[in-house]
Amino acid sequence: MKAFTGGPVAERAFGHVRSALDPAIFNHSVRVWLLADHLGRRAAAGIEGLEREALAVACLFHDAGTAQQYDGPQRFEVEGADAARDFLADHDWPTHLVHEVWQAIALHTSPGIAERMGTLTRLVRLGVLADFGRRDLVEPATDGLLASLDELPRLGIESVLGDAVVAQALRCPEKAPSASWPGGLLAAHLANPRHSGVNPAF
């Protein structure tokens, strides 16, 4: 995989989430960053500078709420957003940019909303969709993007991520309100707890 070039704060975020996340979820988070960065640089007004680094941090932390150290009482998306905000607290970033990172993570499972809530939120959402099969979002790569993605094995991410969210919700049902993506995963599990493989609601 190409060297990580997200910026100094994003590089520290990279090391932090690598030590905290399940390997499948870490690889997914890096793939989402590569995809979102690719999309962001090719947009009509391409992202650059600190905004580009903020996108890297948001992507790397977007599933941090599944990590044991961030398994708090809120939805995993919100726990991950809070984790990123706390991580950035030691860095002199503009308040509005820290909020955009928080929002991008908190809303990444909210279809139809995330796409309309600003550049970072939209790009994180599109990066997630692209990694979970929406390859129509990415034009044929000319810079080795797909080769870089292939160097990050999926390791059964769909099962691993769904199971992690359900396991947290079984311990704390408040983390999976009925109208949410975690709530759908939990409901599908409770309807057929012996099901193995990818959660039907994934």
Instruction: State the pTM of this model.
Output: 0.94
pLDDT, averaged across the chain: 93
CB atoms within 10 A of CB 198: 15
Longest dimension (CA), the chain: 49
Q: What is the reported pLDDT for 148?
A: 87
C-alpha–C-alpha distance, residues 199 and 74, integer Å: 21
Q: What is the reported pLDDT for 15?
A: 95
* pLDDT tens-digit series, residues 189-198: 999 999 999 9
pLDDT at 134 over 80: yes
Residue 142 burial class via C-beta count within 10 angstroms: exposed 0-12, middle 13-18, buried 19 and up: exposed
Helix-helix angle 8-20:49-61, to 10 degrees: 0
Q: What is the reported pLDDT for 187?
A: 97
Tokens 């970033």 belong to which residue? 93
pLDDT at 124 over 80: yes
pLDDT at 152 over 80: yes
**144 or 188: whose pLDDT is higher?**
188
**120 or 138: whose pLDDT is higher?**
120
* pLDDT tens-digit series, residues 27-83: 999 999 999 999 998 876 678 899 999 999 999 999 999 999 999 999 999 999 999
